[in-house]
Amino acid sequence: MRAAAIPASAWPSVPPAAIALLFPLTLLALWSISAHFGWLPPQILPSPGEVWAALLDLARSGDLARNTGISLLRVVEGFAAGSFLGLLLGIAMGLSPKIEDYVKPLFTAFAQVPTLGWIPFLMLLVGIGEPLKVLVIAKAAFVPVALNTLSGIRAVPPIYAEVGALFRFSRWQLLQKVVLPAAVPPIFTGLRYGLTHAWNALVAVELLASAEGLGYLLVWGRQMFWLDTMMGAMLIIGVVGFLLDRIMATCEARLQRWRLA
């Protein structure tokens, strides 16, 4: 139940979308005016028009599409690899306390080191090419997927197993028909976190060592003091990150519906 200490009696019938846009539009207006009157030096704040123009330039030259595509491809590859391994490990640990005993401590130690810490390590091992990017992104996705899968399987009520026994399910059938479906929501949460982490890891690794991608555009802009390009790249990074999460959310909703059916 939502409650507010200070009710908004003054805004009864304005659609929420309009109110949501009020702040950003005001900011945009202030930004344009300040750029026009030069309140802030242009090296600190380009005008919104310039940012838009920079984006259009990027789009027209095909740079935007190419770099976005490359970044997306890397994320997809890394995320697929990382979440696959994460699922495997999570299921293995979830189903077998023995495996968990052997693996969990090492896994926990591994998970304590943030992705950023692993990047230079991997750079020394595999150089700065595509394998680096995919490995880093895979690592970023792997940890949350494995953790959430494990806890999802652990959280399956024992009653389900009893029911399964009643139906004389084989181990495999138990897994397939009872355990996995029950664990799907937390597993999906893990996948969602994994994708977010994967996207952030992509930005990190592209900032450090890349010849293409959205992070690379950001670095290029920074070196050349092209604030408009930088802000444009930031915008696209935000939009793509948002869309990726939206896609996951939609899949999650679909899966929910299927489960309840």
* Residue from 65, 69, 102, 254 binding other proteins (CB under 8 A): 102
59, 207, 252, 255: residue in contact with other proteins (rule CB under 8 A): 207
At 99, the amino acid letter reads I
Distance separating alpha carbons of residues 246 and 208, to the nearest angstrom: 27
Q: Is the dihedral of CA 180, 181, 184, 185 positive or negative?
A: negative
3-class state of residue 197 by DSSP? helix
Single residue of 128, 156, 161, 175 touching other proteins by CB under 8 A: 128
Contact set for other proteins, span 208-227 (CB under 8 A): 208-212, 215-216, 218-227
Phi-psi region of 30 (alpha: psi -120 to 50; beta: other; left: phi over 0): alpha
Q: Does 13 bind other proteins (CB under 8 A)?
A: no
Question: DSSP of 224-246, one letter per residue?
Answer: TT-HHHHHHHHHHHHHHHHHHHH
Please, what is the minimum distance in Å from the beta carbon of residue 194 to other proteins? 15
**Shortest spacing between CB 213 and other proteins, in angstroms:** 11
Looking at 7, 13, 159, 260, which residue binds other proteins (CB under 8 A)? 7
CA–chain centroid gap for 87, Å, is: 17
Question: Considering only residues 238-257, where is the footprint of other proteins by CB under 8 A?
Answer: 238-239, 241-242, 245
- Among the listed ranges 97-105, 152-160, 170-178, 249-257, the one in contact with other proteins (CB under 8 A) is 97-105
> For other proteins, which residue of 13, 37, 60, 124 counts as binding (CB under 8 A)?
124
For residue 143, state whether it binds other proteins (rule: CB under 8 A). no
What minimum distance in Å lies between the beta carbon of 165 and other proteins? Answer: 27
Residues 102, 160: contact at Cβ < 8 Å?
A: no
Token output for 182: 């029950």
Whole-number minimum distance, CB 215 to other proteins, in Å?
7
With binding defined as CB under 8 A, does residue 167 bind other proteins? no
Q: What Cα–Cα distance (Å) separates residue 248 from each residue in 55, 60, 115, 163, 234?
A: 27, 30, 22, 31, 21
Tokens of 36: 């026009």
User: Residue 38 or 158: which CB sits closer to other proteins?
Assistant: 38
47 near other proteins (CB under 8 A): no
